Structure 1
Amino acid sequence: MSVGESTAEQRLVRVGARDIAVTERGAGEAVVLLHGGGPGASGMSNYARNVDALAQRFRVIVPDLPGYGRSSKDIDQSDPFGDLAGAVRGLLDALGIDRAHLVGNSYGGAAALRLTLDRPDRVKRLVLMGPGGIGTTRRPPTPGLKRLLAYYGGEGPTRAKLERFIRDDLVYDGTAVPVEMIEERYQASIDPEVVANPPLRRPAGLRTLLRMDLLRDQRLSRAATPTLVLWGADDKVNRPSGGLLLAERMPRCDLYLVAGTGHWVQWERPDLFNSLTAAFLSEESE
């Protein structure tokens, strides 16, 4: 399908051999919002509380990453972060955007950071919320990450497994998550194409695991892209200590630890997230 083909406000953009579903709002400098990798995730569901606020100042571009939503479902599992980074770069090319701000949560944060390391010329500023790939070979996975990676294993996907992950692991206050959101994500998670080829799974082999540990990348210490890291102090999926590790390695990295917040800063603390992100992205780079 072509750039112009759409359903409601979402359109499919051809990027290489893939279709990537994209929603756009606003005008100004381009800001690409990259969602996390939980079951049933999509761009607009992850950023439902942020898009309109940011669109008052920016051209906000919200893709469904490959493997999710209405986008093509294939991902290179030997180098998933690199593959996703390449897909985002291809999307920028297809949209005629030379440089953009990237905002990434969890899985999307890892993709955003990888693209920043691979092609710093394409990224103006970077905002990361609890990104994946930070010290993944240093300590065993958290219980929340284990449940996330096991969702399609065992008896397969179930609504009970998804609800437990969202309410107990994804956010600090599980009672705040509406039933409708859980049901919507569950239905998306049982798409036959996704069940047959889950986009987020345990790394197959040491080489893939090492590729997915972005702290091992020597380019971090030379990364000149201005970066803001927002990390929930009560994140049960990716350890908040990852924020300090990034701040120690990246020369232009600001860190904000968000109290009483889990893995989904942009949804749990939208007013704080929107104001900090808009202010940071509006700063002039040196």
Structure 2
Amino acid sequence: MQAYPGDNASHGWTQGVLAHPCQLAEIASGRISFREAGGDKRTTMPVVLLHGIGSGAASWSKQLESVGQARRIVAWDAPGYGESTPVKPCSPVASDYADVLLSWLESLEIERCVLVGHSLGAIIAGGFALAHASRLAGLLLLSPARGYGNASDAVRDGKRDSRLEMLRTLGPEGLARKRSSNMLSPTANDEARLFVQWNMSRVIPKGYEQATHLLANADLVVDISRYHGRIAVAVGADDTITPPAACEPIARAAGVALQIVPQAGHAGYIEFPDVYSSLIEAFCRTCEAW
């Protein structure tokens, strides 16, 4: 594992990442790198975790450790992240990622699951739910990004181009130094801040560029309004990237009340891992009983 600032053998996040090493799955379009826990828990519904635009599978290491005690749990590196093969289009849409997600789940012999999407991962989750609803027991969206597909051309192009220019100017490490603090609340501890910065510094430019286009092209509200399965939407009270007001239309389109996690920022599952693990596990149990 690449070290991050302050890394040492006893560091909690280091131990968590090392405990769930990266694995590779070969699929028709290439390969997907992922992390897994609870592989022997085959009597409970598996849960699949999709990270956001500046993240990766390693970000879920605390959830792998805790939720993996009760059920199989897998977290992918999205196409173009980690060692995962990028999608083919330069300017992809959610269905491009959803197709890869289906192939990956089939390679893992996961026929049905609870799908958890964070931020941009929620857009991919929404695209998958729209195309493959029968494969889902439930859909949990954490601090979901809506996307700019419903915005004017000027807004959509401006958001996309400014993010791409920042990546080209700063590179992954500079991007992480500039933007990683936005992922957490003002009260987040140093351990969480160091981990988020390390994780963001590992993004691969091509994959990040494609994900930026996905963000510009998507409208999660439209996809979610067409999905009629079990769904929940949650956001941190101190999230400044996808604040509660921005997540409310997504929850409304899903026909559910927006859950607000006190004190949490955008990457609340890193900042408050126990709280979010409990939220995920409770939603899984609800889906199993439904």
Short-chain TM bin = 0.7 to 0.9
Q: Give distance in 2, aligned partners of 1:77 and 1:52.
A: 35
Q: Give distance in 1, aligned partners of 2:35 and 2:265.
A: 26
8 Å Cα contact 2:176/2:201 also seen in 1: no
Give the alignment's TM-score, normalised by structure 1.
0.80
8 Å Cα contact 1:103/1:109 also seen in 2: yes
How far did 1:136 drift? 5.1
Q: What letter corresponds to residue 33 of structure 1 in structure 2? A: L
| 2:167 corresponds to which of 152, 158, 175 | 152
Q: Which residue of 2 aligns with 1:76?
A: 89
3-state SS in 2 of match to 1:166: helix
| 1:131 corresponds to which of 134, 144, 152 | 144
3-state SS in 2 of match to 1:97: coil
How far did 1:32 drift? 0.5
8 Å Cα contact 2:49/2:116 also seen in 1: yes
Deviations 1:34-63 (A, max 9, x none): 11111xx2102x212211110111100111
Q: Which residue of 1 aligns with 2:222?
A: 216
The 5 A counterparts of 1:170-189 are 170-173=183-186, 176-178=189-191, 180-181=194-195, 184-185=198-199, 188-189=202-203
Identity, % of aligned positions: 24
Q: Give distance in 2, aligned partners of 1:158 and 1:250.
A: 34
In structure 2, do the counterparts of structure 1 residues 186 and 34 end up closer, same or farther at CA, with 3 Å as the change threshold?
A: closer
8 Å Cα contact 1:34/1:105 also seen in 2: yes
| 1:98 corresponds to which of 102, 111, 121 | 111
In structure 2, do the counterparts of structure 1 residues 195 and 275 end up closer, same or farther at CA, with 3 Å as the change threshold?
A: closer
Q: What letter corresponds to residue 213 of structure 2 in structure 1? A: P
Q: What letter corresponds to residue 263 of structure 2 in structure 1? A: G
Q: Give distance in 2, aligned partners of 1:71 and 1:10.
A: 11
The 5 A counterparts of 1:4-153 are 9-26=21-38, 27=41, 28-38=44-54, 41-44=55-58, 46-134=59-147, 137-138=150-151, 149-153=164-168
Unaligned runs of 5+ in 2: 1-19
Bigger helix share: 2
8 Å Cα contact 1:66/1:75 also seen in 2: no
Q: Give distance in 1, aligned partners of 2:289 and 2:166.
A: 41
Size of the aligned set, in residue pairs, is 263
Q: Give distance in 1, aligned partners of 2:187 and 2:160.
A: 17
In structure 2, do the counterparts of structure 1 residues 79 and 145 end up closer, same or farther at CA, with 3 Å as the change threshold?
A: closer
Q: What letter corresponds to residue 184 of structure 2 in structure 1? A: V
Q: Which residue of 2 aligns with 1:255?
A: 258
How far did 1:147 drift? 7.0
Q: Give distance in 2, aligned partners of 1:30 and 1:82.
A: 22
Give the alignment's TM-score, normalised by structure 2.
0.79
3-state SS in 1 of match to 2:263: coil
